[in-house]
Amino acid sequence: MVQTRILDVPLTLKEGRDCERCVGRLRDSLLEVNGVQSADVDLASSTLTLVYDPSLVALETVERRAEEIGAELGATIAHRIVPLAGMDCPDCAAKVEKAVLKLPGVLSAQVSFTASRMVVEYQADRVSLDQIVGRVRSLGYGAAERGEPEETPSVWQRHKLAISTGVSGLALTVGVAAQHLGAPQAAVDACYAAAMLAGAYYMARGAVASVMAAAFDTNFLMLLAAIGAVGIGQWAEGALVIFLFSLGSTLESYTTERTRSAIRRLMQLAPEKATLVANGVREDVPVREIAVGDVVLVRPGSRLPVDGVVVAGSSAVDESPITGESMPIEKGEGDEVYAGSINQTGALHVRATKAYEDTALARIVHLVEEAQALKAPSQRFTEQFGRIYTPTVIGVALVLGLVVPLVAGNFHAWFPRSLTLLVVACPCALVISTPVAIAAAIARAARMGVLIKGGAYLEQMGGLRVAAFDKTGTLTTGKPSVAEVVAFGESSAREVLRAAASVEALSEHPIAAAVVAASRERGLVLQEAKGFTAEPGRGAFAVVEGTPYWVGSVSSLAGSGVDLSPAKGIIEEWQRKGQTVVLVASGRWLIGALAVQDTVRPNAPRAIQQLRAVGIRRIVMLTGDEDATAASVAASLGLDEYRARLLPAEKVDAVNALQEQYGRVLMVGDGINDAPALAAATVGVAMGATGTGVALETADVALMSDDLTRLPAAIALSRQAMAIVRQNVAFACAVVLMLVLTTLTTGLRLSAGVLGHEGSALLVILNGMRLLSGRRVAAEASLAKPESTAHRPQCRGGTRLSHQPGRRGGRSTP
């Protein structure tokens, strides 16, 4: 009879248990054992489930083989995320990858220019991390070895490219002015030379590195074009080519630099020190020294330093940075808490259940690092074209200038033609066709309040068809508010709200603040409350104008003997809608109820309509909140689907599943818990004004305000920008082809070649600058109209929300 056995993955696969390649190796090796029918690894629970036939193989044999394979993988296969420095261009990623992959024993190397990280997998018995780091450093880039802290860049390091671009532009401007004013040609050429030297320094470094890596990139192409222009006396052209390319590199550098600080900001969520409690003595120690089983004291207002279980105390804990839960959760003895959560009201004693490196927060950091590093930037068409085109043209020019004159004679006729070929063959218009349009689009987006962190993300936005949204803080405000007040008996709704607010005015709970805010919005005058007492998780009691009032949850009032029968229907209705129910009683008599909920952003419905208008076919909500709350929000916005109760790693899984099913996926979020999903999505978008720094830095695109309607406008802008890029590329290729063919066949005067070359570049620039007007973008963004058919959200594994029950029993506020 076939039997099933569950083994512990951490014991079996000691290192790299989160690596899919090692998981695959372990699974494939076990399936080779006679009698093993299946081997499935669940990374979420860190377990290995084996199905085997005991008549063919003993359990001990299978377990021993699993441990041997795991030990072998752990001893030979190593995985590292290596921080990099000095990557000033997207081509740097390809250079480093190619160089590292040449090392014997390196199995894979993927580099992210935007994240400045390298994920490398290697055989530790054949190559060391020091050798890998040494190879990276030999190319002129920085790389941190194991245990080394990342260096904080100086002001010069952060702005060196912009400074060199500025100096280049200034020298170029002076040269043009001097030429128009009739200055000596030597002085004019000196200005152009200064412009080239200032702008080409970092370009030359990249070109040298590309030659060392046997890859001719855009740096090499532009530098060779400038040298060729100077060789035939066209100093102004050489200076202009270098300045424009340097300017584009500067803009891209600034849009990606902020992303590189995301990991540091993530780690800052956990406090550096924790208050360790041992034998009645309290001592502040580094959080990394907290071991499993240690007890720490967490004071009100402090962040939890470790994952653990509450052993003493009670408090409301804000877990939204980790789980996405919209409301603070009451925690008491035996409840689980997470590092990075915020303790709000009371002191807690927490026993650590995980080491610092294994906390949920550390896991989020790892997910973000890996997802960003694995997302290598897409290679531009012009760069791919240049890898083939540039060596070919150089070879043709050499043949034309050196070989042909030796065979056919007439050196003075063929050598100048080869120089002209270098000038007209340099695809300047082609190379700047993409960055000019992208720079214009990024500038236009910035004026719209949208920060797009590089051309790759602008390009990807144009092909999006699926959008996924976080709920709390993204589609909703993230702050509780009173949605409805119902009175029972002789009391009015305003009297119920005033009594509740008078009691809650002395409480620090977020729901209490929402009740007080609702009373002030309605112009109610609060009365002094006496004898105030509060019980965490139950509610608050006070005497107002001689009348005792109890404000609390359904369970607390029911446990106090209050008759809840008048509110039974309304309680069930509100709970189905995902609203928090707050009851108000006077003595043992229920006088009213309040529905508290996270409010949908006012602009969210229109944003959803506009997204559909610009071509987004499916819109999904991913949230850590409860199913009922998620269903209510999804229904009110007309979403196609929602997935509730998701942890950060599960959000990543959901994004990956959407990508497999629909292709490119847009993810919009604002919290720390959204950071891994933002990094895993094709394009991650963070809410700027309300989003946390980590979500903002991790994302590829940031909305600098709470206005979600700017997102569909950015998508429309992306599509227009990519249409202009295609126009520019087609036009530039046609011009280059015409000039090259003319030079090779009938010959072309240098002046005509320069005129055609510069004219095409000018037209490409002007076409790209059309994006700055934004007229068409505004028109496309305003196409959205109310949907004629309401969307009914689907919950994977849950219920379909299709019904709005009527109000029962009681009087509601208008």
Instruction: Name the nearest CA neighbour of 626 among 231, 247, 246, 324.
Output: 324
pLDDT for 622 = 93
Comparing 46 with 729, the larger pLDDT belongs to 729
* Domain 476-600 sits in CATH 3.40.1110.10: yes
Q: Express as a percent the part of the chain with pLDDT over 70.
A: 70
Tell me the CATH class for 1-148. Answer: alpha beta
Beta carbons of 515 and 526 less than 8 angstroms apart: no
pLDDT reading at 138 higher than 50: yes
Comparing 781 with 36, the larger pLDDT belongs to 36
For the domain bounded by 271-358, which CATH number is listed?
2.70.150.10
Token readout for 105 is 């024993």
pLDDT reading at 250 higher than 80: no
pLDDT reading at 481 higher than 60: yes
Rounded Cα distance between 277 and 296, Å, is: 5
pLDDT tens, 112-125? 665 677 888 888 77
Domain spans in the chain, listed from the N-terminal domain onward: 1-148, 155-261+378-419, 271-358, 449-475+601-709, 476-600
Rounded Cα distance between 180 and 194, Å, is: 18
Give the distance, in angstroms, between the CA of residue 444 and the centroid of all CA atoms in the same chain. Answer: 22
Q: Which amino acid is at 402?
A: L
Instruction: Name the nearest CA neighbour of 764 among 460, 480, 433, 280.
Output: 433
Q: Phi and psi of 278, rounded to 5°? A: -140, 125
Over the range 56-66, which residues count as b (16 or more CB within 10 Å of their CB) and which as e?
Answer: eeeeeebbebb
> Where is average pLDDT lowest: 97-101, 521-525, 639-643, 690-694?
690-694
Q: How confident is the model at residue 790 (pLDDT cuts 50, 70, 90)?
A: very low
Which residues participate in catalysis according to the annotation?
470
Rounded Cα distance between 68 and 57, Å, is: 16
Cα 591 to Cα 366, 373, 540: the distances in Å are 51, 58, 15
Rounded Cα distance between 645 and 162, Å, is: 45
Comparing 341 with 449, the larger pLDDT belongs to 341
Rounded Cα distance between 312 and 787, Å, is: 53
Give the distance, in angstroms, between the CA of residue 478 and the centroid of all CA atoms in the same chain. Answer: 20
Q: How confident is the model at residue 811 (pLDDT cuts 50, 70, 90)?
A: very low
Alpha helices, DSSP H only, in 113-184? 129-138, 155-180
Q: How confident is the model at residue 187 (pLDDT cuts 50, 70, 90)?
A: very high
Domain 271-358 shares a fold with domain 449-475+601-709: no
Provide the CATH topology of domain 449-475+601-709.
Rossmann fold (3.40.50)
> Where is average pLDDT lowest: 426-435, 721-730, 735-744, 756-765?
426-435
Mean pLDDT score of the chain, rounded to an integer? 77
Q: Express as a percent the part of the chain with pLDDT over 90.
A: 22
pLDDT reading at 68 higher than 80: no
pLDDT for 549 = 95
Instruction: Name the nearest CA neighbour of 311 among 351, 355, 257, 346.
Output: 351
Instruction: Name the nearest CA neighbour of 498 among 528, 533, 534.
Output: 528
Over the range 293-315, which residues count as b (16 or more CB within 10 Å of their CB) and which as e?
Answer: ebbbbbeeebbbbbbbbbeebbb
